[in-house]
A and B are shown apart, each in its own frame.
Chain A
Amino acid sequence: MQVLQSCWKSAARTDRGKVRKRNEDSVLDQPERGVWLVADGMGGHQNGALASRLIVEEVAELVPHDDLDQQVKQVRQALHVVNRRLGYEVTVTADQPDAVMGSTVVALIGDQERAVCLWAGDSRCYLWRNQRLYQLSRDHSLLQQLIHEDQMDPQEAARHPSANALTRAVGAHEQLVLEILEFSVQPGDTLLLCSDGLYQAVSAGSISHALGLISPAAAVEYLFSHALSGPARDNISAVVMRR
Chain B
Amino acid sequence: MDSALETPDSPAGTQLAGKSAKTISTTAPQSSELPEVLNNRYRIERLLGVGGMGAVYRARDLLREQYGDPDPYVALKTLNEEFAEYPDANALLYSEFALTSRLRHSNVIRFYAFNVDRTSQRAFMTMELLKGPTLDHLISERQEGLPWLEFRQIAIPLLEALHASHSLGVLHGDIKPSNVMLTADGLRLFDYGLGEPLQGLLPGLPRLSRKRIAAWTPRYAALELLDGGELTEAADLYAVAVILYELISGHHPYSRLTAKQAKCMEQGETLDKPENLPKHCWPTLKAALAFDEQDRQTTVAELLASFNHQPISLLQRLLGRTA
Contacts and interface: CB of A to CB of B under 8 A. Distances in A.
A46 B28 CA distance: 9
Interface in B11-50: 11-26, 28, 30, 33, 46-50
Given A46-B81, A183-B4, A200 B13 contact: yes
Q: Is the interface of A mostly helix, strand, loop or mixed?
A: mixed
A108 interface: no
Contacts of B28: 21, 44-45
Nearest to A154: B15
Interface stretch (A29-37, A62-70, A84-92): A84-92
B220 to A, nearest CB: 9
A3 B30 CA distance: 47
Contacts of A203: 11-13
Given A99-B52, A104-B22, A158 B136 contact: no
B215 A184 contact: no
A127 B215 CA distance: 45
A42 interface: yes
B260 to A, nearest CB: 11
Interface residues of A, number: 73
Given A85-B136, A92-B216, A164 B12 contact: no
Nearest to A94: B214
Nearest to B193: A91
A143 interface: yes
A155 to B, nearest CB: 7
A183 B2 CA distance: 6
A84 B21 contact: no
A218 interface: no
A81 to B, nearest CB: 6
Interface stretch (B92-100, B162-170, B173-181): B173-181
A38 to B, nearest CB: 13
The 3 A-B residue pairs whose C-beta atoms are closest, nearest first, are A183-B1, A91-B52, A94-B214
Interface of B: 1-2, 4-5, 7, 9-26, 28, 30, 33, 46-53, 55, 80-82, 136-137, 140-141, 174, 176-178, 193-194, 213-219, 228, 256
